[in-house]
Amino acid sequence: MRLTVLSGPSGVGKGTVVAEVRRRHPEVWVSVSCTTRAPRLGETDGVEYHFVDVEEFTLMVKKGELLEHAMFAGHAYGTPRAPLEARLAEGVPCLLEIELQGARQVRAGVPDARFVFLAPPSWEELVRRLTGRGTESPEVIGRRLDRARIELAAESEFDAVVVNDDVTRAAARLVSLMDTD
Amino acid sequence: MRLTVLSGPSGVGKGTVVAEVRRRHPEVWVSVSCTTRAPRLGETDGVEYHFVDVEEFTLMVKKGELLEHAMFAGHAYGTPRAPLEARLAEGVPCLLEIELQGARQVRAGVPDARFVFLAPPSWEELVRRLTGRGTESPEVIGRRLDRARIELAAESEFDAVVVNDDVTRAAARLVSLMDTD
């Protein structure tokens, strides 16, 4: 069984599609990241994340126990290697949702993974999602759209594309991709 | 000739060591990144960076012309693949300085590169460099030191370590590592 890595631009709805996969496809094992940030209201250890302290995270890095890791806004996030490899060895379909730079790191560790790009139905729709609240300055919006254009161009690095026009259909397409070898 | 990738924690002095290599070892070709950020005072296009606009950068991503790329503070940075591959094919020793996440991305594209970790002479010295100006809040300092601890742990991912106790000696050690195969 190959690992499937789901990535795509910020704002495209990766988390929502993965939540739908969890709900409708319990046969798919979804990787849970570890993080040094504090749990938010409603988050449960081991469900959204494994919450660890900086000492534990440092030790995992040192021992090579993370498939990839990165810092965001002062907190560390990483993908534990062992549980994923155990599920793959058992033949369980495994899904890893990750931002674009993380996906590129995973490619180094698991070159035979299947890399799926979650794309917005259109550029206009992505713009709508990224500018939705309309409370930011034109500079902030401009930088966000610049980033989105560059992130969308990364589609060419991926093995397959799923368009997130409808969350149920996108999740179903993703899971059907996982069946094929 | 193999590519040498120099990485290491923030604040360890990667840029200074590479500047020393440029000055003393003109036989080493140093990769120049492209970026969408504006040049700063004293920066020259093609020396510190290739300055490109978002359209050009997007096209490079789309065509797979970048070995790795990433966003920092709203700007895109990337490593052009073609000039590096041309120099390597000519047998020129090539050096690429990059932060830790970028180094992990390069591993996917150039698995036979030599990965060198630039380490501080001691934890105390890195703390001194990261807290030097003493103008930040304890929270900011705390997060920076947490990050430094995690970044230092990444030493185990590397093929070789150069300690930056003295910039001239660190540069010399790095270049002597590049000679060996």
Q: Does A62 touch chain B (CB under 8 A)?
A: yes
**10-residue block means of pLDDT along chain B (181 residues)?**
94 95 95 96 94 97 95 92 95 95 90 95 91 80 92 95 97 91 60
Per CB-CB distance under 8 Å, the chain B contacts of A123 are: none
| Residue B53, min C-alpha distance to chain A (Å) | 10
Which ranges of chain A have pLDDT less than 70? 133, 180-181
Please tell me the number of Cα atoms within 13 Å of A30 on its side-chain side.
Answer: 24
Q: Do B76 and A104 touch (CB under 8 A)?
A: no
B104 touches chain A (CB under 8 A): yes
**What would the DSSP string read from start to end of A75-139?**
EEEEEEHHHHHHHHHTT--EEEE--HHHHHHHHHH-TTSEEEEEE-S-HHHHHHHHHTT--S-HH
A136 touches chain B (CB under 8 A): no
Distance, in Å, from the CA atom of B130 to the CA atom of B29, rounded to the nearest integer, reads 29
What pLDDT is attached to residue B171? 97
pLDDT recorded at residue A61? 97
Residue B114 has a pLDDT of 96
Nearest-CA distance B25 → chain A (Å): 31
According to the annotation, is A10 in a ligand binding site?
yes
Determine the Cα–Cα distance for residues B146 and A8; give it in Å rounded to an integer.
29
Asked if A104 and B107 come within 8 Å (Cβ–Cβ), the reply is no
Query: Class for domain B32-92, per CATH?
Result: alpha beta
> From the list B59, B61, B104, which residue is nearest A105 (CB)?
B104
A81–B contact, CB cutoff 8 A:
no
Summary count for chain B: helices (H), strands (E) = 7, 9
Measured between alpha carbons, how far is residue B169 from residues A46, A121, B21, B30, B115 in Å?
A: 47, 54, 10, 18, 18
Give ∠ CA B111-B112-B114 in degrees, rounded to 5. 105
- pLDDT in the model for residue B181: 60
Q: How far is CA A124 from the centre of its chain?
A: 22
ipTM computed for the complex? 0.87
* Out of A105, A143, A146, closest to residue B101 by CB: A105
Q: Single out the residue of B117, B126, B101, B153 nearest to residue A58, CA to CA.
A: B153
Structure confidence at residue B27 (pLDDT): 94
Q: B50 burial class (0-12, 13-18, 19+ CB within 10 angstroms)?
A: middle
Q: How far apart are CA A45 and CA A37, in angstroms?
A: 12
Is residue A159 within 8 angstroms of chain B, CB to CB?
no
Residues of B in contact with A104 (CB under 8 A): 68, 104-105, 108
Q: Exposed/middle/buried for A54, CB within 10 Å: 0-12, 13-18, 19+?
A: middle
- Cβ-based neighbours of B108, under 8 Å, separated by 6 or more: A104, A105, A107, A108, A111
Predicted local distance difference test score (pLDDT) of residue A140: 85
CATH T-level topology, domain B1-28+93-181? Rossmann fold (3.40.50)
Q: What is the DSSP string of B41-68?
A: TT--BTTTBEE--HHHHHHHHHTT-EEE
Say which residue the tokens 């030599």 belong to.
Answer: B114
Q: Parse chain A into domains and list their residue ranges.
A: 1-28+93-181, 32-92
In this prediction, residue B74 carries a pLDDT of 84
B150–A57: do the CB atoms touch at under 8 Å?
yes
